[in-house]
Chain A
Amino acid sequence: MDLVIATVSQGLLWALLAIGVYLTFRVLDIADLTVEGSFPLGAATAATLIVAGSHPLVAIVAACVAGMLAGVVTGILCTKFKIPALLAGILTMIALYSVNLRIMGKANLPLLQQDTIFTIWNLGMDKMMTTLVIGAVIVLVVALLNYWFFGTELGTAVRATGFNPHMIRANGINTDNMVVLGLLLSNGLVAISGALVAQSNGFADVGMGVGTIVIGLASVIIGEVLFGTRSFKNCLISVILGSIVYRAVIAIVLQMGMPPNDLKLFTAILVALALSMPLLQARWNKIRKGGR
């Protein structure tokens, strides 16, 4: 039971990362590697502020703003300076490594004995239940805000930019601005996720961003396959559930005895397989038809 609660709450904390990756990878149709830097950026910002005595909520808001700035940097690199989005994200990610070290002043910042978002309110539950409830509330609020925003004129324009930039320009909207806005929102969410994970783990580490893009992609893909993509609302829910299922898969393979060091390899193979699925399926169908 404890393991289930822990798995679900981890899934919720990481779900914001998954939504962020969904916004770039699916909505904007960009593979944005900034997340590998903005996730630890959120963690570093929040941890540093908490150690300095800030309220955890303030720390999370600050982390979000920092993530948004990182997104804007990538956005400007790829729209104004025409650097391919993948490379723009890598540049920001690398730059953020130094930025994160500067923010924390060292590679690892523990949050021992500090008040975190999971300890400041006494909900009359044990630590794990509290994490679950607070994680659920935050994810719900973020999901509702996303649902609202992407239903507005502006949000609709961001989504349409990913589907068809020609169409959206022909309708008078500056696609560059929409791309920057999308990257801003995405990295803001990723940074919140980093801030939450740091507080739950009890430390921020400069290396905690490694592989986050793949974790995000895995959650997005698992969610889409299992829970559908009918509408934007459906996708949001899918991605959140996908993040939880991903954590469950990880918990199961670890229980089955896979060494934790192999986790990233496992996740990468999972994502590679999922991404090549459409092609493999087409081949398979062709072979079957040819055989008949």
Chain B
Amino acid sequence: MLHIENISKTFNPGTITEKLALHNVSLHLAPGDFVTVIGGNGAGKSTLMNSIAGTYPVDEGRITIDGTDITKWPEHKRAKYIGRVFQDPMMGTAAGMMIEENLAIAARRGKSPTLKWSSSADSRQHFRELLMGLNLGLEDRLESKVGLLSGGQRQALTLLMATMAQPKLLLLDEHTAALDPKTAEKVLLLTDKIIKQQKLTTLMITHNMRDALKYGNRLIMMYEGHILFDIDSEKKKNLGIKDLLAMFEKAAGSELNSDSLLLS
């Protein structure tokens, strides 16, 4: 489904701040794969995701989705295939606009906007039903501005927006990291539910090893711009945090800087 072949990315090449953030990374996702991604600070997780989303171009390599080469596509064109939720709850929605207006934009992800009036009684009914599924009472607040919602509500809404137009690929970059633990858990359960319902192919970055083990059918560990190991669903089932740490030490030849990863 998603094929990444040997992509590399260097930031600020030729300057003293030059940084090789991705080095020859290859990754294949089968349809329906739900892959959790872990790794220390600066390992290249976000760079990998932004490269797939097209936030910036890669220096080398190829990215294809369902056989379509998207390596050279601009970010907005890739959005036809890709739904995204960012770490920052502010990033995924337009705060100054109503919930309804945000949903109307997301419902047409990847289609050119037309001169049709953006809201209709039909669409409102549809949005209400979708919001009902979030269980946050947002179905009665279609005309509220998104800026009035809490961080957790905004992330849940962004998740809904990212998935309502059936993306081929869902990218989640620590989308619960800015939330308190209880809200984070709620949003994660919701994420899992939506992914399972729609059988979405998903990449989810997390700093929480327990979540990385609990969710998804595959786990990859990144380190210094490459994928250190890739654990399939059979092996993942019986894996504990201790095993992960041991695997990391063996593969990287150093101790994992555990400040950057939540161990519990």
- Report which A residues bind B (CB closer than 8 A): 148-149, 151-157, 159-160, 163-164, 166-175
What residues of chain A lie closer than 8 Å to B124, measured between beta carbons? none
**Residues A157 and B93 in contact in the complex (CB < 8 Å), given A152-B114, A172-B77:** no
B114→A154 contact, CB < 8 A:
yes
**In the complex, A157→B80 CA distance in Å?**
16
**In the complex, A153→B117 CA distance in Å?**
6
Which of B74, B94, B161 contacts A163 (CB under 8 A)?
B94
Which of A149, A154, A160, A170 contacts B101 (CB under 8 A)?
A160
Interface centre among A148, A152, A153, A160 (most CB of B within 10 A): A153
B101→A167 contact, CB < 8 A:
no
A164→B113 contact, CB < 8 A:
no
Which of A149, A157, A174 contacts B105 (CB under 8 A)?
A157
**In the complex, A147→B53 CA distance in Å?**
34
**Residues A167 and B92 in contact in the complex (CB < 8 Å), given A152-B115, A172-B110, A172-B111:** yes
**Residues A156 and B76 in contact in the complex (CB < 8 Å), given A163-B95, A163-B97, A164-B94:** no
**Residues A166 and B106 in contact in the complex (CB < 8 Å), given A159-B97, A172-B77, A172-B111:** no
Dominant SS at the A interface? Answer: helix
Interface residues on B, range: 35 or more
Using CB atoms, name the residue of chain A closest to B90: A164
Q: Is B116 interfacial (CB 8 A cutoff)?
A: yes
**In the complex, A167→B91 CA distance in Å?**
6
A-B contact count (CB 8 A): 90
Known: A160-B101, A174-B74. 9 other contacts (CB 8 A): A152-B114, A153-B116, A156-B113, A159-B94, A163-B97, A166-B91, A166-B92, A167-B102, A175-B76
Interface centre among B53, B93, B96 (most CB of A within 10 A): B96
Q: List 19 A-B contacts (CB under 8 A).
A: A148-B117, A151-B117, A152-B114, A153-B108, A153-B113, A154-B114, A160-B94, A163-B94, A163-B95, A164-B91, A164-B93, A169-B79, A170-B53, A170-B79, A171-B105, A171-B109, A172-B76, A172-B77, A175-B76
Q: Is B84 interfacial (CB 8 A cutoff)?
A: yes
**In the complex, A160→B113 CA distance in Å?**
12
B76→A154 contact, CB < 8 A:
no
Which of B74, B90, B91, B101 contacts A156 (CB under 8 A)?
B101
**In the complex, A151→B162 CA distance in Å?**
22
B105→A164 contact, CB < 8 A:
no
B105→A156 contact, CB < 8 A:
yes
B113→A170 contact, CB < 8 A:
no
**Residues A170 and B80 in contact in the complex (CB < 8 Å), given A152-B118, A157-B113, A160-B97:** no
**Shortest Cβ distance from residue A182 to the other chain B in the assembled complex, whole angstroms:** 13
**In the complex, A189→B196 CA distance in Å?**
50
Using CB atoms, name the residue of chain A closest to B114: A153
**Shortest Cβ distance from residue B57 to the other chain A in the assembled complex, whole angstroms:** 14
**In the complex, A169→B96 CA distance in Å?**
17
